[in-house]
Amino acid sequence: MVISMQRISAIQWRSWLFLLLMTWASATATELKAPSLGVKERTRRVLSLEASEPYSFSSEDFKDYFYEQTLDHFNYRPESYATFKQRYVINYKFWGGANSSAPIFVYLGEESPLDNYIDAIGFLTDHAPKFNALVVFIEHRYYGQSVPFGSMEEAFQNASTLGYFSSSQALADYAEVILYIKKSLSAESCPVVVIGGSYGGMLAAWFRLKYPHIALGALASSAPILYFEDITPQNGYYSIVTKDFRETSENCYNTIRQSWSEIDKTASQPNGLSVLTKKFKTCFPLNLSSELKDYLETIYNSAAQYDRPPTFPVSAICSAIDNTSKGADLLSKVFAGLVAYKGNQSCYDTKEFKYSTETKRGWNWQRCSEMVMPIGRGSNDTMFQAAPFNLTNFKQRCKRLYGISPRSNWITTQFGGHDIELVLKRFGGNIIFSNGLRDPYSSGSVLKNISDSLVAIYTTQGSHCMDILPELPDDPKWLVMQRNQEIKIIGQWIKQYYMDRLANH
Ligand SMILES: *[C@@H]1O[C@H](CO)[C@@H](O)[C@H](O)[C@H]1NC(C)=O
Ligand SMILES: *[C@@H]1O[C@H](CO)[C@@H](O)[C@H](O)[C@H]1NC(C)=O
Ligand SMILES: *[C@@H]1O[C@H](CO)[C@@H](O)[C@H](O)[C@H]1NC(C)=O
Ligand SMILES: *[C@@H]1O[C@H](CO)[C@@H](O)[C@H](O)[C@H]1NC(C)=O
Ligand SMILES: *[C@@H]1O[C@H](CO)[C@@H](O)[C@H](O)[C@H]1NC(C)=O
Ligand SMILES: *[C@@H]1O[C@H](CO)[C@@H](O)[C@H](O)[C@H]1NC(C)=O
Ligand SMILES: *[C@@H]1O[C@H](CO)[C@@H](O)[C@H](O)[C@H]1NC(C)=O
Ligand SMILES: *[C@@H]1O[C@H](CO)[C@@H](O)[C@H](O)[C@H]1NC(C)=O
């Protein structure tokens, strides 16, 4: 999940600190290393603090509610009837009301507490005034305050309590909450448009396919619904990270590509790890070269995934690498890139991305049950060292962690994905798949128009989930155009709906 450096507001920064306070070291997080999803960036950059600016709206416009949610929607055993409180928030400010059948925009929560993204998502509130729309955000089960079994500790106890934590249960939750809101506001005739980003974008697309009677349409931003099984090449993600760096600077790309073996070589020399510890000013003495390499890799991934104006972290890293003095050795160049990204710090915490967070904890379970996204790379096909995705190995590790084996074919069984153009050409409609091609996850997204109303709207310069971030005065023209196109299409869905309703009465 998140944001250009400039876009990280004070509020978001606070929620970051909150997240950090909530963290604890965990073996599970490190064992299942993978690029994170999410609208919001989860790495921290000192630079981001420098240019924070307030948003045009605040979460104060939202009223808090809790829905008494069913634990298990899919069977009728007595224990399935247990309930938990699911959080959702509503902004009534712009709503035209039930009598005018004014639309309802619903943001489908993703893999983190609602408070983490509500201020980061601008799309609904920015465009609600034009549509007189009601704005709703619903929190995903097992995150934030929407936790079954009374507490996080109980809910995450073991696979018996985690078993109700799935995308299908989450979609059914959203269906219930939306219907409940409509009923309580006598808004049965109001069209609903669901919106989501990243994993939440997948949910939005799937929701429209599964619940067309509840959602008129879906905006699925940066939703890699095709990164399952063998639909997308394993190295799709890292190929785009590599392309982003290479397009920015051939020299930068070469420097990074060569740095991994240089780090290994240095580490293997006597005292080599302390040389690296010093050179990279790491906060803790390095025990393995992989501690440094994983850290750098996460930073490059994140820079590419959230490569946004006005600061463009990939360019920032590459300028620093390219700009080091002539005689500088390879590792000094790489270090200069690190400093450009993180800022000038007294030390660099290579464990920074390994501390457990609510998101990591929840997402690890999701990956080990159904969200098996085979992201990897071979030798020499990206700027990184080989790290193929090994399903056998992955399953073993999940088994060790949770006592269950991932159902790696379930997502495509439940929602499809193979031959998506052929399958959806004559089924479904009203979904926008939006992307920015500099986003590594765009490799697993829908980038072709499938039919008149299943459309792909992408920008070549954009990165992860940019279109649903809050509008800013200095947004690039291509981003403004992308949003306008999306708004126009959503407007057409709603107009058509009103016409169809009239014709039916
Ligand atoms: C909506 O319509 C109902 C029934 O026609 C009416 O009683 C009510 O006053 C209307 N509400 C508003 C806010 O106009
Ligand atoms: C999970 O924990 C509960 C309570 O300790 C226990 O009764 C149950 O058998 C456990 N389930 C598994 C799969 O370990
Ligand atoms: C190296 O291992 C020590 C002892 O386990 C640990 O305290 C330290 O944080 C480790 N260093 C890194 C960079 O992870
Ligand atoms: C390049 O380095 C010079 C001298 O160290 C510095 O003045 C300049 O700001 C740097 N440029 C960039 C783009 O980092
Ligand atoms: C980075 O910070 C150190 C002090 O922590 C300072 O000595 C050094 O000059 C700073 N470097 C830059 C490039 O600002
Ligand atoms: C990797 O690529 C380089 C340059 O493209 C080539 O010279 C080298 O043989 C390749 N190595 C492997 C292991 O394929
Ligand atoms: C995948 O992992 C398993 C278990 O760790 C191992 O036996 C196997 O050799 C690995 N396969 C490949 C292709 O590396
Ligand atoms: C899909 O169709 C829309 C018009 O409905 C168009 O604006 C867009 O560029 C098309 N996308 C692609 C990838 O061709």
| pLDDT tens track for 82-137 | 999 999 999 999 999 999 999 999 999 999 999 999 999 999 999 999 999 999 99
Q: Which helix (H) or strand (E) holds 255?
A: helix 250-268
Q: Relative to the CA of 320, which ligand 4 atom is closest?
A: 14
Q: Relative to the CA of 455, which ligand 8 atom is closest?
A: 1
Read off the pLDDT of each residue in 176-199 and give the average, rounded to a whole number: 98
Q: Is 170 helix (H, G, I), strand (E, B) or coil?
A: helix
Q: Respond yes or no: is residue 198 known to be catalytic.
A: yes
List the alpha helices (DSSP H) in 91-235. Answer: 114-117, 123-131, 152-155, 159-162, 167-184, 199-210
Mean pLDDT computed over every residue of the chain? 91
Active-site position among 119, 294, 307, 439: 439
Q: Relative to the CA of 325, which ligand 4 atom is closest?
A: 5
Distance CA 475, CA 322 (A): 27
Q: Is the dihedral of CA 441, 443, 445, 448 positive or negative?
A: positive
Whether the Cβ atoms of residue 135 and residue 128 lie closer than 8 Å to each other: yes
At 407, is the pLDDT very low, low, confident or very high (cuts 50, 70, 90)? very high
Residue partners of 191: CB distance under 8 A and separation at least 6: 101, 103, 104, 216, 493, 494, 497
Instruction: Please tell me the predicted confidence (pLDDT) of residue 47.
Output: 33
The crossing angle, in degrees rounded to 10, of helices 236-248 and 313-323 is 50
Indicate the top mutation candidate among 279, 282, 286, 287 to test ligand 3's pocket, ranked by most ligand atoms within 8 A of CB: 287
Which residues, listed in sequence order, are joined to residue 419 by a DSSP beta bridge? 417
Nearest CA to ligand 1 atom 2: 99
Read off the pLDDT of each residue in 37-41 and give the average, rounded to a whole number: 76
Whether the per-residue pLDDT at 4 is higher than 80: the answer is no
Distance CA 99, CA 371 (A): 41
Task: Give the pLDDT confidence of 126-180 residue by residue, as tens digits.
Answer: 999 999 999 999 999 999 999 999 999 999 999 999 999 999 999 999 999 999 9
Instruction: Please tell me the predicted confidence (pLDDT) of residue 97.
Output: 98
Whether the per-residue pLDDT at 24 is higher than 80: the answer is no
Adjacency order of strands within the sheet including 83-91: 63-70, 83-91, 134-138, 104-108, 192-197, 217-221, 431-436, 454-459
Q: Domains (ranges, CATH) in the chain?
A: 62-229+412-503 (3.40.50.1820), 236-354 (1.20.120.980)
pTM (2 d.p.) = 0.91
Q: Which helix (H) or strand (E) holds 18?
A: helix 10-21
Nearest CA to ligand 5 atom 14: 344
Residue 319, amino acid: S
Whether the per-residue pLDDT at 28 is higher than 50: the answer is no
How far is the centre of ligand 6, averaged over its atoms, from the C-alpha of 250 (Å)?
Answer: 17
Residue 429, amino acid: G
Q: Between the CA of residue 358 and those of 144, 369, 394, what are the distances in Å?
A: 8, 17, 21
At 33, is the pLDDT very low, low, confident or very high (cuts 50, 70, 90)? confident
Per DSSP, 417 falls in state B
For ligand 2, whether the C-beta of 158 sits within 6 Å is yes
Whether the per-residue pLDDT at 54 is higher than 70: the answer is no
Distance CA 339, CA 323 (A): 13
At 59, is the pLDDT very low, low, confident or very high (cuts 50, 70, 90)? low
Active-site position among 4, 15, 48, 198: 198
Whether the per-residue pLDDT at 21 is higher than 50: the answer is no
Distance CA 280, CA 403 (A): 38
